Amino acid sequence: LAKTTQPISMDSYEGQEVNITCSHNNIATNDYITWYQQFPSQGPRFIIQGYKTKVTNEVASLFIPADRKSSTLSLPRVSLSDTAVYYCLVGPSYNTDKLIFGTGTRLQVFP
């Protein structure tokens, strides 16, 4: 299983772009990279998923270099409501029981 490493915490200010990098050196060929967001006292919420290059949706962008050993979640112009814990997960699509949530990155956005 691909182990992931991400910063424990990050601080930002409203309006700034935030980039959270996740390291997954032993990612396998069949593995996808998925990011979830969790607010206090709520269940995680799916943000974005990718396999390679760049994926963008209405919430975030996910950048994956050619070697796929890391990935970067980019949140444009964060607001106070983006304060949450962000989890990076790596795993094969066919083994959903192997989905492992680490401790995530706690993002604090200040006014």
Partner 1 sequence: NAGVTQTPKFRVLKTGQSMTLLCAQDMNHEYMYWYRQDPGMGLRLIHYSVGEGTTAKGEVPDGYNVSRLKKQNFLLGLESAAPSQTSVYFCASQNLDRTYEQYFGPGTRLTVT
Q: Whole-angstrom Cα distance, residue 44 to residue 101?
A: 10
* Beta pairing, strands 31-38 & 45-50: antiparallel
Nearer to partner 1, 33 or 111 (CB): 33
Choices 17-25, 60-68, 69-77, 90-98 (CB under 8 A): range interacting with partner 1: 90-98
Nearer to partner 1, 10 or 99 (CB): 99
Q: Is 41 in the site for partner 1 (CB under 8 A)?
A: yes
* Beta pairing, strands 9-13 & 105-110: parallel
Q: Is 101 in the site for partner 1 (CB under 8 A)?
A: yes
- H-helix or E-strand spanning residue 20: strand 18-23
Q: Is 56 in the site for partner 1 (CB under 8 A)?
A: no
Encoded tokens for 73? 């979640």
Residues constituting the chain: 111
Instruction: Give me the residues that bind partner 1 (CB under 8 A), please.
Output: 32, 34, 41-46, 49, 87, 89, 91, 93, 96-97, 99-104
